[in-house]
Amino acid sequence: MVNQPPSPLKAKVSPGHPFFDLIEEAYRVFDYSRPVSTEVCHCCMDEEIEVDFFNPPIRQLPLEYVRDWYFAAYDPQTGVAKATWAYLLPRLLEILATDEDLAGIGLEVSLRRFDTGNPKNWSTKEWAVLDRFQRMFLQHRIEHTKDFLDDAVCMFRLGGWPLDDLTNQLKAAPSATLAARLWNDWCAGCAPGRENIWVTAFWEGADSTEILDFYTSDALYEKMEALALDDNTDPELAAKASAVASMMRP
């Protein structure tokens, strides 16, 4: 019987990818020892995957293994130990950089198993990688993908990043880019009158109110209104900015 060649490893970034250098740095910096436990519920993981989970080199950890690990329950009170989380982080960041989901229930929970966004938990070099990844990913989500921006903001907030820092990054985005992004999230494909400010259901506690307050804030409204009224704005973009502004002031 002829052995079938192994399937190509999914969710890998190659040279030339915008995140390639950063992911390579992540693998160098987060060079942690291989853990001995997955730290998730044994009955939740596929038995064969659990047994083999730490056998592949971290760079070769299959996407299917990672998703099975995310499917398994963990203790929300204690989370996952830093040593285990840090070992997995380079591969997790790489998968996110390819726009693949880690968890089947949503992007938002991707970084919440450890207080990832707290710089006190990391060395200077480790935090430099994480901070740069967060900013690059959010910028990429604003500029390039069709996936909801709010989902990514929520992911980083649930991962421990301060909400004010995240919304300040959105405010700093070019008006034209942000208007196109918000129009895509709130208006594209909707029947007239059915447009809606997209806020993911994963927001927790006061954050759910604060993020909606941001999306309807005077500062953001004025940014969209100024773009819509600027004679130099492309008419199509001006219409999108106007539609976004009207969502903030119905």
Q: Provide mean pLDDT across the span 7-12.
A: 90
The pair of structure tokens assigned to 235 is 């008419």
Helix (H, G, I), strand (E, B) or coil at 112: coil
Separation CA 167–CA 214 (nearest Å): 7
Separation CA 31–CA 157 (nearest Å): 25
Give residue-wise pLDDT tens across range 12-33.
999 999 999 999 999 999 999 9
Distance (Å) of CA 120 to CA 8, 22, 179, 194: 37, 21, 35, 44
pLDDT value at position 6?
54
Q: Where are the domains of the chain?
A: 15-147, 174-250
Query: Quick one: which H or E segment has residue 96?
Result: helix 82-97
Task: Tell me the pTM.
Answer: 0.94
pLDDT value at position 194?
85
Contacts of 80 (CB under 8 A, 6+ apart): 39, 40, 74, 113, 114
- Checking if the pLDDT of 199 tops 50, the result is yes
pLDDT value at position 4?
41
pLDDT value at position 100?
95
